[in-house]
């Protein structure tokens, strides 16, 4: 089944927040932000004369609690006194036109008392500025392990952040209703918006309705950070009693919102024979100025600290450090990629030191069924070796060409790297693994499906429509996936953790089962036994049949309930944060990639050429969507590895806060060859219809892009070992080769 949004996307008919028809009298708002990275507000001059000015709202205008922190209450919606980052919201300008709102913003002057900022996570840690507590995962015996090693190396990894660059910027449209508010929000977390808006206004949650049609991309950037935007729009509606639109322009979006977390890490790795015997890693996460989702992101870094390898002795330590940057947040992979990059760097380092191919060390240490991860869960249903062998088989020729090329070229070199991935599927916060759905069958037989799932381009609505219509043996046109709305699907977890379709698809099927049971009971009274729903009909074992339309119409007249609520919660998962052990994931998604690249070593220019992927997606549910997620995820990850360089100056100002200074992947940058193969595997019981989650894992294949470029560079001149910095931009390639 094709993505149901495909046609409306390419014809420009898909509707996003800024495309909504506006109600007469709609007001427009923009956000006034902090001019310093750290300071105190001395005064705000808002004595402004402008014909279109409606109001300027500050912290004092918040009727409820000025607090948006989800995990830790440490973040104000609008800064009341202290300023923690350049770009932090201080006030909302509400005007009759958008242009006027910008004009008015320029007329406001904010006086501040500047304080010393901190931007470096290690410096923040030394000053005691940490968020939550330090965490440590342990396995085996780290006291004796090092003595048993033949070779040990140590090094350092610096990992940059990444801008989400969803095409649709953050935005919301808030409307006053008779006794509350409705907000149309570009959010991955409708319930978060509802909960925090209620807190800001001092109202019960039932007075706030949140509605989401779709997002023009979220990538984690709208899991938490769509909330304040929606809250500001609602606050302005609350004050003015008028509809208010707040859609950030690109520059404001880049300035105000947090990004992927930069990390600074130290590693020590030891080998005994061909086995990785001991691994010690310390992660300093740069959280920015508020907790946001950072503690959860940090935890996932630890979960993926050993990636796809079995290492018997491990100590993985991590801390979240508070700095004066925008609060960093969820981004595809959610801290997992940073964990994986460090172990891959350690493997690259020790392999180069020993003079063996890093791929040999990777291959020799792949985790297998029953092997324990440092967090206590054991690997199961592992398909890494199969995937590895497939990729190896598919790339024999490519690797031979690389060797020939390097033998005959002096200044241009080719490189390659393998990347196995093992990604845990479930929210690491066990309680979040739940979803609800509402399935309505109308009198004419058409079906309205509501769940907590948010469509952000990943195709979740397509998958849900596919499984629901299949369930009743109907063509897809019978079903429609409704907007995600907090009055139809309640207490939803954000659409995130790659778990959206598993959780919400299963909740929808639960509702479908209830309706089918009622229909079966109704049919059995009419002499139908062992009914199957197929090809638009209900068919009994003895061949009696009734069309779906006839059945629904008759069931309605007989007063059968044709609507059902469905619910799903992932079984068997748990995690004990005291012991740092448990079984946090329903299952793992596995796969292997090989990426090749060419580096012009005279000028320092890289080009990713081939990507080969062999992926375990369980029993395939929709390979079109899976391929889209794999290709998109890898290209997005390659951008992070090779192009995207976030630069904050010594005042904490984002100097890469525009698309002329922040380079993102485009179609020309994308690899010329992209081959994806899926493994034939048994159905995955904990996935939707036997499939596996696909949203985030493929991004991490792109880590091979970084190592393939380094491999090519090493063919020209051996790089400093134990010193890994991401992104490997062209500028950096040049500097590392010659500086």
**Residues found near ligand MTE in the complex (CB under 6 A):** 217-220, 332, 456-458, 460, 495-501, 629, 632, 693, 695-696
Do the bridges between strand 673-678 and strand 605-615 make them parallel or antiparallel, or are there none, so unpaired?
parallel
Q: Is the dihedral of CA 178, 181, 186, 190 positive or negative?
A: negative
DSSP code of residue 662: S
The least CB distance from residue 163 to ligand HPA, in Å, is: 18
Tell me the sheet residues that pair with 314: 139, 279
- Residues of this chain, 24-83, that bind ligand HPA according to CB under 6 A: none
Closer to ligand HPA by Cβ: residue 87 or 258: 258
Decide if 307 contacts 340 (C-beta within 8 A). yes
The least CB distance from residue 334 to ligand HPA, in Å, is: 4
Closer to ligand HPA by Cβ: residue 586 or 627: 586
Closer to ligand MTE by Cβ: residue 124 or 611: 611
Among the listed ranges 292-300, 405-413, 473-481, 658-666, the one in contact with ligand HPA (CB under 6 A) is: 292-300
> Residue 613 is encoded by which pair of tokens?
């992927």
Which one from 401, 696, 731, 736 is the annotated catalytic residue?
Answer: 696
- Residues of this chain, 6-25, that bind ligand HPA according to CB under 6 A: none
The secondary structure of 222-261 as a DSSP string is TTSTHHHHHHHHHHHHHHHSS-EEEE--HHHHHHHS--SP
- Taking CB under 6 A as the rule, does residue 428 contact ligand HPA? yes
> Residue 616 is encoded by which pair of tokens?
């375990």
The least CB distance from residue 343 to ligand MTE, in Å, is: 22
The least CB distance from residue 329 to ligand MTE, in Å, is: 11
Q: Is 696 known to be catalytic?
A: yes
Distance, in Å, from the CA atom of 334 to the CA atom of 293, rounded to the nearest integer, reads 9
Tell me the sheet residues that pair with 151: 271
- Taking CB under 6 A as the rule, does residue 224 contact ligand MOS? no
**Helix-then-strand count for the chain, H and E:** 18, 30
Please select the residue that binds ligand HPA; options are 334, 375, 575, 678, rule is CB under 6 A.
Answer: 334
Side-chain-facing half-sphere of 433: CA atoms under 13 Å = 24
Among the listed ranges 43-51, 409-417, 423-431, 668-676, the one in contact with ligand HPA (CB under 6 A) is: 423-431
Closer to ligand MOS by Cβ: residue 223 or 299: 223
Phi, psi for 510 (deg, rounded to 5): -60, -45
Distance, in Å, from the CA atom of 309 to the CA atom of 544, rounded to the nearest integer, reads 56
- Taking CB under 6 A as the rule, does residue 497 contact ligand MOS? yes
Distance, in Å, from the CA atom of 19 to the CA atom of 16, rounded to the nearest integer, reads 5
Closer to ligand MTE by Cβ: residue 57 or 425: 425
- Taking CB under 6 A as the rule, does residue 334 contact ligand MOS? yes
In 560-700, DSSP assigns E strands to 563-569, 574-576, 581-583, 587-600, 605-615, 673-678
> In the complex, which residue's CB is closest to ligand HPA?
497
Closest CA relative to residue 610, chosen from 405, 401, 359, 416: 416
The least CB distance from residue 550 to ligand MOS, in Å, is: 43
Query: Which of the listed partners (ligand HPA, ligand MOS, ligand MTE, none) does 457 bind, with a CB threshold of 5 to 8 Å by partner kind?
Result: ligand MTE
| Helix/strand/coil for 498 | coil
- Taking CB under 6 A as the rule, does residue 496 contact ligand MOS? yes
Decide if 227 contacts 170 (C-beta within 8 A). no
Query: Which of the listed partners (ligand MOS, ligand HPA, ligand MTE, none) does 379 bind, with a CB threshold of 5 to 8 Å by partner kind?
Result: none
| Helix/strand/coil for 722 | coil
CA distances (Å), origin 243, targets 27, 60, 661: 6, 21, 35
The least CB distance from residue 424 to ligand HPA, in Å, is: 8
CA distances (Å), origin 325, targets 72, 121, 428: 17, 11, 26
Closer to ligand HPA by Cβ: residue 334 or 418: 334
The least CB distance from residue 193 to ligand HPA, in Å, is: 15
Phi, psi for 610 (deg, rounded to 5): -120, 140
- Residues of this chain, 314-333, that bind ligand MOS according to CB under 6 A: 330-332
* C-beta atoms surrounding 84 within 10 Å: 26
Size of the site for ligand MOS (CB under 6 A): 10
- Taking CB under 6 A as the rule, does residue 223 contact ligand MOS? yes
- Taking CB under 6 A as the rule, does residue 427 contact ligand HPA? yes
Catalytic residue numbers read 696
The residues binding ligand HPA (CB under 6 A) are: 223, 293, 296, 300, 330, 334, 427-429, 432, 496-497
The residues binding ligand MOS (CB under 6 A) are: 188, 220, 223, 330-332, 334, 496-497, 696
């Amino acid at each position: 089944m094709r993505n149901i949004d495909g046609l409306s996307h390419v014809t420009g008919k898909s509707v996003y927040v800024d495309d909504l028809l506006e109600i007469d009298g709609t007001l427009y708002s923009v956000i006034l932000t902090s001019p310093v990275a750290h300071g105190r507000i001395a005064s705000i001059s808002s004595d402004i004369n402008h014909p279109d000015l409606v109001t300027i709202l500050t912290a004092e205008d918040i009727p409820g609690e000025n607090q948006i922190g989800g995990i830790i209450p440490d973040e104000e919606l609008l800064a009341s006194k202290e300023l923690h980052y350049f770009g932090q919201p201080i006030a909302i300008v509400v005007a009759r036109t958008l242009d006027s709102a910008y004009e008015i913003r320029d007329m406001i002057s904010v006086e501040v008392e500047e304080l010393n900022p901190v931007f470096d996570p290690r410096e923040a840690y030394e000053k005691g500025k940490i968020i939550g507590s330090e965490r440590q995962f342990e396995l085996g015996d780290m006291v004796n392990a090092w003595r048993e090693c033949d070779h040990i190396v140590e090094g350092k990894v610096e990992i940059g952040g990444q801008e989400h660059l969803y095409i649709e910027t953050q935005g919301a449209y808030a409307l006053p209703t008779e006794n509350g508010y409705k907000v149309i929000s570009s959010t991955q977390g409708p319930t978060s918006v509802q909960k925090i808006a209620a807190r800001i206004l001092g109202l019960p949650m039932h007075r706030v309705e949140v509605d989401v049609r779709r997002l023009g991309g979220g990538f984690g950037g709208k899991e938490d950070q769509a909330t304040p935007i929606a809250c500001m729009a609602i606050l302005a509606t609350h004050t003015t009693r008028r509809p208010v639109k707040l859609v950030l322009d690109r520059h404001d979006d880049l300035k105000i919102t947090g990004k992927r977390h930069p990390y600074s890490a130290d590693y020590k790795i030891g080998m005994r024979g061909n086995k990785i015997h001991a691994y010690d890693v310390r992660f300093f996460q740069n959280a920015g100025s508020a907790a946001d989702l950072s503690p959860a992101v940090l935890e996932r870094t630890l979960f993926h600290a050993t990636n796809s390898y079995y290492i018997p002795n491990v100590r993985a330590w991590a801390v979240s450090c508070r700095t004066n940057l925008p609060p960093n947040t969820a981004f595809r992979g959610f801290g997992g990629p940073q964990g994986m990059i460090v172990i891959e760097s350690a493997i690259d380092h020790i392999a180069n030191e020993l003079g063996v191919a890093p791929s040999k060390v990777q291959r020799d240490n792949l985790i297998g069924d029953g092997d324990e991860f440092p967090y206590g869960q054991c690997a199961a249903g592992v398909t890494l070796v199969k995937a590895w062998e497939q990729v190896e088989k598919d790339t024999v020729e490519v690797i031979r060409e690389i060797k020939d090329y390097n033998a005959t070229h002096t200044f241009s070199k080719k490189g390659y790297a393998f990347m196995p991935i093992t990604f845990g599927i479930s929210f690491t916060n066990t309680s979040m693994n739940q979803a609800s759905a509402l399935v309505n069958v109308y009198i004419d037989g058409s079906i309205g499906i509501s769940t907590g799932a948010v469509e952000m381009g990943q195709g979740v609505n397509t998958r849900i429509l596919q499984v629901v219509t299949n369930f009743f043996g109907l063509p897809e046109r019978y079903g429609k996936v409704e907007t995600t709305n907090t009055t139809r699907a309640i207490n939803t977890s954000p659409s995130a953790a790659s778990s959206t379709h598993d959780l919400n698809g299963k909740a929808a099927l639960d509702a479908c089962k209830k309706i089918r049971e009622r229909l079966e009971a109704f049919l059995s009274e009419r002499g139908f036994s062992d009914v199957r729903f197929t090809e638009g009909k209900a068919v009994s074992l003895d061949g009696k049949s009734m069309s779906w339309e006839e059945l629904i119409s008759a069931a309605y007249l007989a007063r059968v309930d044709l609507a059902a609520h469905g619910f799903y919660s992932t079984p068997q998962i748990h995690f004990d944060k005291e012991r740092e052990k448990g079984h946090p994931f329903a299952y793992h998604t596995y796969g292997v990639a090989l990426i090749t690249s060419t580096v012009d070593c005279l000028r320092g220019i890289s080009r990713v050429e081939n990507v080969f992927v062999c992926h375990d997606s369980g029993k395939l549910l929709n390979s079109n969507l899976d391929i889209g997620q794999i290709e998109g995820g890898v290209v997005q990850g390659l951008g992070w590895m090779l192009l995207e360089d976030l630069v904050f100056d010594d005042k904490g100002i984002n100097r890469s806060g525009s698309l002329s200074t922040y380079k993102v992947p485009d179609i020309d940058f994308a690899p010329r060859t992209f081959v994806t193969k899926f493994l034939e595997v048994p159905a995955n019981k904990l996935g939707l219809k036997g499939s596996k989650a696909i949203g985030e894992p493929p991004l991490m294949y792109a880590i091979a892009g970084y190592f393939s470029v380094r491999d090519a560079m090493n063919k020209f001149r051996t790089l400093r070992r134990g010193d890994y910095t991401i992104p490997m931009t062209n500028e950096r390639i040049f500097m590392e080769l010659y500086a």
